[in-house]
Chain A
């Protein structure tokens, strides 16, 4: 018996660079990291290529989906600039 439940398909992710920018982004779980970066870029006004998303020491790669990274609703991601 499978017990996991999807409350909503859309998820909200918070990205914080701890320098004064904190973005709440709504996105689909099947979006790639690249898409997420585009959204963030649109909201913050930085170039998407400059954004690095991290959780601890894991640098998220562009071509992988949020679902695959097991990024769920309400999670916090670290944002850096390169």
Chain B
């Protein structure tokens, strides 16, 4: 065993072969196979050697080839430098001095070379020609003109026949085209020419329609279509080719013949008879050519013929009448016929009944109209009939029945039942006519009577009942209404009077209750004027609850009091009893007291329970802001939210809210009868002071109020404020004066409040309230 140092300083343990073998034997392994090669290994080695050799051989060959090619290249290069170089030549023959000789020599050489090249070329050409000849011979020997039979040529005959020889080749075509049309011959040059011609034509931009292009310019027998310029685009290019006939020839005369044939058929003879007399009318022959365009005959349904036996007698007339459809010629003949017939009745005038009969016959009144079809357009009629039928089907049987039922009901409704009250628009109108003025006239003061006497209340329902009873008779229209209204006039008046204010028809001017009559009247007035709101159902309910609660509280208080008293009494009684007994056994006493106390406790609990049975608390949460305004739900929530979050809205928002509140307050403070500046009041004062129904602001076109028109007694108390007065002016033309003078007055309906204040103070007694003042004025 040996241990040697390796490069990286590690100790490598290694054994020699002998040691290893000894170890292997010891371990029971076969010894190391040293150098002994298997057959496989040998083969592999041989293969390797072989491969190496082959590679070497290939490399050698390649080198050889390279060398050869190099050599040949070199030779090629050297070959071009054939002949002697200048130096060599000069060296060869010492004629450098004779330049002329040199030039001659050069020329000779050049000629020689040229001749050589020529010879070569000639040889080549000869060879090629002979080859071609051979090929042609081979081709022509098998391809004869008869092979061309049936082949189409794509050019017109004129194009080809024009000059000498034309070589035709097979036209390029796709397989599809070839299948369709077969082989087509064409000449490339001619095709090019044609294409060029077409392009030129297109460039010219000829208009499609030429006014002067007559039919005579067309090819004979050809007729130009409408918009013929597009024919080519729609149908593809026109083909004017021809087909090679048998033996590979083309009959040049054929086309010519065709053309001449056509011309001959359309020939017009130029000879004319000079002696022909001119006639006003068409001759028989001319009539044949001149034909009126036939009118389209209407298709008529085969009509059932009338009674043929009957028709036979009157056939000529009747038929003309029925069948005449306005053709002039036919009409003429019929007229003639009729004339003939008319003569017969005229001659026998003495028999009037017969003529009458004839008239009838003539007027086709006797004709069986039922069978005659008056209808012009059968299609339309059939369509209409179909539509009608459909409509009839749609309207089902049940529908018809319903209609009948409705009709019956209407009939029934017309007969009023016994004991029913009939109300209709007419009756209502008439009734109002009768009653309305009477109400006003008879009892004006009773309308708003605050409290009704009880007797009246009891009487009136009976009255109304009576009215209803009397209305039972069956009468209709105005009479009935009149009677009814007169009969029930008194009662109905009262009836109307006693109805609630809200239910009554609203009178145009309502009576105002007198305040003097009492508090109720005052309240009524206030409510009428809208100062006091009428309590809604909700408010009433709340009030009821509150009063209930109050009652309940009072009750509780009373009970408490009673119990107190009772307790006192009990105590006293106990004391007395204790005294009487003289403080017996204490234990029993205590026990009894305890029991009593418990009993009392129970009793009280029951009482409380009883008490609270009818306790319905009226809870109404109100939220108020810092100014004492009542908040609605939204505002309340905001307040709560602000409090909760400890954060109020910003400056702008707060200001906005405050402004809103301020405006609201202003609105509330505003007078309902006057403008904010009190102009109405001022005007009133002014007119009173002036003693006129108007106030003059200016006269004529002067914008100033003249002194003489006079503010009368109305002197401004505070002139400073008058300037600020808000004056709205209106120009009023006084009709009494001459209009032409333009003497106009400006009348105001609104003056500053300040101006009137002084006057009003003077006029008005100070103790009068606003309401009483108004009443005074109205009186």
- Listed in ascending order, the chain A residues whose CB lies under 8 Å from chain B are 1-6, 8-10, 14, 16, 20-28, 31, 35, 38-39, 42-44
Contact = CB atoms under 8 A, between A and B. Distances in A.
Interface stretch (B24-32, B383-391, B512-520, B589-597): B24-32
Contacts of A23: 12-14
Contact of B17 (A1, A4, A14, A26): A26
A24 B26 CA distance: 19
A28 B47 CA distance: 24
B607 to A, nearest CB: 96
B6 interface: yes
B47 A2 contact: yes
Can you list the 9 inter-chain pairs with the closest CB atoms, starting with the nearest?
A9-B33, A24-B14, A6-B41, A10-B32, A22-B12, A23-B13, A26-B20, A22-B10, A1-B47
Interface string B435-465: 0000000000000000000000000000000
Given A6-B44, A8-B34, A10-B33, A35 B27 contact: yes
B32 A3 contact: no
B37 interface: yes
Nearest to A40: B13
Contacts of A42: 23, 26-27
B48 interface: yes
Contacts of A25: 15, 20
17 contacts: A2-B44, A2-B47, A5-B44, A8-B34, A10-B32, A10-B35, A21-B13, A23-B12, A24-B12, A26-B32, A27-B20, A28-B33, A35-B27, A35-B29, A38-B27, A38-B29, A39-B27
B36 interface: yes
Contacts, number: 76
B6 to A, nearest CB: 7
Given A39-B24, A43-B1, A43-B15, A5 B45 contact: yes
Given A2-B43, A3-B44, A28-B30, A43 B13 contact: yes
Nearest to B33: A9
B27 A9 contact: no
Contacts of B47: 1-3
Given A9-B33, A38-B27, 5 more contacts: A1-B50, A9-B36, A26-B20, A26-B32, A42-B23
Contacts of B41: 5-6
Given A22-B13, A23-B13, A39 B23 contact: yes
B44 A28 contact: no
B44 A26 contact: no
B46 to A, nearest CB: 10
Interface in B35-64: 35-38, 41, 43-45, 47-48, 50-51
B35 A3 contact: no
B632 interface: no
B35 to A, nearest CB: 6
A10 B41 CA distance: 13
Contacts of B189: none
Interface in B361-404: none
Given A9-B35, A9-B37, A39-B23, A14 B44 contact: no
Interface of B: 1, 6, 10-15, 17, 20, 23-24, 26-27, 29-30, 32-38, 41, 43-45, 47-48, 50-51
Contacts of B15: 24-26, 43
Given A2-B44, A38-B27, A9 B34 contact: yes
A22 B14 CA distance: 9
A8 B44 CA distance: 13
Question: Mostly helix, strand, loop or mixed at chain B's interface?
Answer: mixed
A8 B561 CA distance: 134
B35 A8 contact: yes
Nearest to B30: A28
A24 B37 CA distance: 23
Contacts of A14: 12
A3 B51 contact: yes
A72 B23 CA distance: 21
A44 B11 CA distance: 12
A12 to B, nearest CB: 8
Given A38-B27, A39-B27, A24 B33 contact: no
A25 B15 CA distance: 7
B12 A4 contact: no
Contacts of B43: 2
A38 to B, nearest CB: 5
Contacts of B48: 3, 5
A72 B37 CA distance: 16
B29 A31 contact: yes
Contacts of B10: 16, 20, 22
B572 to A, nearest CB: 111
A32 to B, nearest CB: 10
Contacts of B13: 21-24, 43-44
Contacts of B35: 8-10
Contacts of B30: 28
A27 B14 CA distance: 12
Contacts of B29: 31, 35, 38
Contacts of A43: 1, 13, 15
A6 B30 CA distance: 19
Contact of B6 (A1, A21, A22): A22
Contacts of B51: 1, 3
A45 to B, nearest CB: 10
A26 B32 CA distance: 8
A24 B41 CA distance: 25
Contacts of A2: 43-44, 47
A53 to B, nearest CB: 16
Contacts of B14: 23-24
Nearest to B31: A28
A77 B75 CA distance: 65
Contacts of A4: 44
A9 B37 CA distance: 7
Given A2-B43, A4-B44, A8-B34, A22 B11 contact: yes
B102 to A, nearest CB: 69
Contacts of B34: 8-10
Nearest to A14: B12
Nearest to B24: A39
Nearest to A29: B33
A10 B51 CA distance: 26
Nearest to A2: B44
A51 to B, nearest CB: 14
A6 B36 CA distance: 10
Contacts of B27: 35, 38-39, 42
A10 B6 CA distance: 22
Contacts of A1: 47, 50-51
A16 B13 CA distance: 10
Contacts of B11: 20, 22
A20 B26 CA distance: 27
